[in-house]
Amino acid sequence: MASSSSSSSSALSRISNLSRHFHQSDSKSSDNPQGAIDAPFRGLIKISTEVSAAMSRGHPVVALESTIISHGMPYPQNLETAKEVEAIVRKNGAFPATVAILDGTPCVGLNEEELERLSILGTRVRKTARRDIAQVVAGKGNGATTVSATMFFASRVGIPVFVTGGIGGVHRHGEKTMDISSDLTELGRTPVAVISAGVKSILDIPRTLEYLETQGVCVAAYRTNEFPAFFTETSGCKAPCRVDTPEEAAKLIDANMNLGLGSGILISVPIPKEHSASGSLIENAIQSALQEAREKNIVGNAETPFLLKRVNELTQGASLASNIALVKNNALVGARIAVALAKLRVQ
């Protein structure tokens, strides 16, 4: 088995080759024949040939974020997971559209070379929220999109369903620090349905739900009355709304779109029982990681990646395994919701 340093060196040596192919691939992808993309953004956002063709035919498309690839896990596990998630979306009747910024160009839908390039670069790619988009584009940089940035691009090109692992939220002690994820304000102003496993349990879940209510965001739980807490099925917080089938979820999304409410929808899917990590094990690890973050003065958008990595170390890999399992489950549910929505909107 090769050492991590030699694997990294070998992987990095391929980046230039992958970069060389980037602007040559999908040469027709920005055409978007049906014009689903907002007119002012045409030519600024690159849509893959597959995604563009699917959208032009009214086929269901699911947007996927890319931060989980760059910052969620090491190479090559991140690439394997990204491919598996896309395969799950396809198997369940929809087309995946992973979103990222490559060489300053926002991309909706990545080919295999682009996925590998992003995976190899890993944390050297800029973690890109809405506030960072202009900077990354202007500097012709590479950006892995978070929930807020992925929602922004999905909305601009007309993709109504987006799958992620878990959204950001109000950080613990957020009433003092005012550390609140831009995911929440994005949900309040961007009409995209976000399929997630709830809110990461490293955050303050009750305050996050309160903030979403203030933003006018419909929060629904899938086949449960309780809002899930990412690693575990329960949080102790009741979900404001419940949907039990992809069709019910699709009707909720369709009503939100038809009414022009202008806000997103959060559909929270509990992690499968067989992959649910021990709540007490995770909570103890979270408390320890939070203390370390405070001692090291790790704040802002650097805090969540640090906490997730540290919690994974403290749980000896249990939290990462759970993370991957829930993302795959969300992709399955999200694809089925996208298919139901596409059928509903052509009736």
Q: Please give the DSSP secondary-structure letter assigned to residue 41.
A: G
pLDDT at 22: 40
- Catalytically active residues, by annotation: 65, 200
Kindly report the number of other CB atoms within 10 A of residue 74's CB atom: 14
User: Taking Cα atoms as reference points, which of 296, 238, 243, 294 lies closest to residue 265?
Assistant: 243
- Are the C-beta atoms of residues 284 and 318 closer than 8 Å to each other? no
- CA 55, CA 53: separation in Å to the nearest integer? 5
Question: Residue 21 above 80 pLDDT?
Answer: no
Summarize pLDDT for 251-301 with one digit per residue, the tens: 999 999 999 999 999 999 999 988 886 666 777 888 899 889 889 998 877
Q: Is the pLDDT assigned to residue 222 strictly greater than 90?
A: yes
Residues 64-113 have pLDDT tens digits of: 999 999 998 889 999 999 999 999 999 999 999 999 999 999 999 999 99
SS3 (DSSP) at 193: strand
Q: What is the sign, positive or negative, of the torsion defined by CA atoms of 152, 164, 339, 110?
A: positive
> What pLDDT, on a 0 to 100 scale, did the predictor assign at position 202?
78
Outline where the chain has alpha helix (H): 4-13, 15-22, 49-56, 67-70, 77-91, 112-121, 133-138, 147-157, 174-177, 182-189, 205-214, 246-259, 279-295, 303-314, 318-345
Contact 158, 37 (CB under 8 A): yes
